[in-house]
Amino acid sequence: MNRLPLDERVRILSALVEGNSIRATARMVGVSKDTVQKLLEDVGDACEAYHDENVRGLSVMLIQCDEIWTFCKAKESNIAPAKKRETIGDMWTWVAIDAQRKLVITWTLGKRSPRFARRFMEDLAGRVKTIVQISTDGFGMYKPQIQRYFAKRADYGMDVKTYGRDLESYETRYSPPKVLERRRISVLGAPDERYISTSHIERQNLTMRMSMRRFTRLTNGFSKKMMNLQRALALHYMHYNFCRVHSTLKTTPAIASRLTDRVWTLHDLANLPDLIRGEAAA
């Protein structure tokens, strides 16, 4: 990988973060599919390591959490019961975002189960040092984990929406469902009802679906291995936090959160594996 010129690595990463598949990226840049895959492995692992080490000690007031669905290797319904395991089938990315600075605080890839809910909320609690208000949808697995890991450090509210859709109409089959009712429910502590919302995390989930071919609906670009999906997520969130200037912030979420003093470039991401290896050696 060190023999690949920096500019070529940047071109590959540019294609990947704009939502292209590995095969499409290989065709666009003029390299082999294996070259793209190896770069994703190298940079994805470095992004995950950097995020884990540096996105900590955050002063946050409003957190929104959600889960976004995709699948790995095959959809759950297409896997024989005897072959089902945690690394394939329906996969969920648990995500937490700072609603004010738009920083993705943490994310966990896994099943939509109590075990991964515990892992996600424990990691989130370890990255935040302030008393916070947390908002989620009506999914019931959040409450016990917030009670367990945030104790008295969080007020918690649910933003519960009731949707309606004419499933028989071809024209509306792939259109967003209509919200029939919305309720803001106080669950723990005394959350401010005005800020019980999941709008920012839902918008970030849309950004992810548009920025990663693996999350595009009705796609054949889905991940075949969970580890590759994990690396693609690490690259996406690193680029989102440190490189992508948010239109309302006029800067990156990482600068707004005082995690860095400059806008990172794709050259920085391309060189990140060498930085991580250098720090490890030191």
pTM: 0.88
pLDDT per position as a tens digit, 120-132:
999 999 999 999 9
pLDDT per position as a tens digit, 40-73:
999 999 999 999 999 999 999 999 999 998 887 7
CB 141, CB 114: distance < 8 Å: yes
Return the CATH number of 1-54+231-251, one of 1.10.3470, 1.10.1740, 1.10.10, 2.60.120: 1.10.10
pLDDT per position as a tens digit, 198-245:
999 998 888 887 777 666 666 666 677 888 889 999 999 999 999 999
3-state secondary structure 56-118: CCECCCEEEEEEEEEEECECHHHCCHHHCCCCCEEEEEEEEEECCCCCEEEEEEECCCHHHHH
Report the CATH architecture of 57-211: 2-Layer Sandwich (3.30)
- The domain ranges of the chain are 1-54+231-251, 57-211
Among 15, 29, 10, 35, residue whose Cα is nearest residue 264: 10
What per-residue confidence (pLDDT) applies to 165?
65
- Determine what percent of the chain is predicted with pLDDT higher than 70: 90
What per-residue confidence (pLDDT) applies to 213?
67
pLDDT per position as a tens digit, 8-24:
999 999 999 988 888 88
Who has greater pLDDT, 76 or 100? 100
Please check the confidence at residue 276 and state whether its pLDDT lies above 70.
yes
Same CATH topology for 1-54+231-251 and 57-211?
no
Q: What is the mean pLDDT of residues 259-268?
A: 97
d(CA 239, CA 244) in angstroms, rounded, equals 6
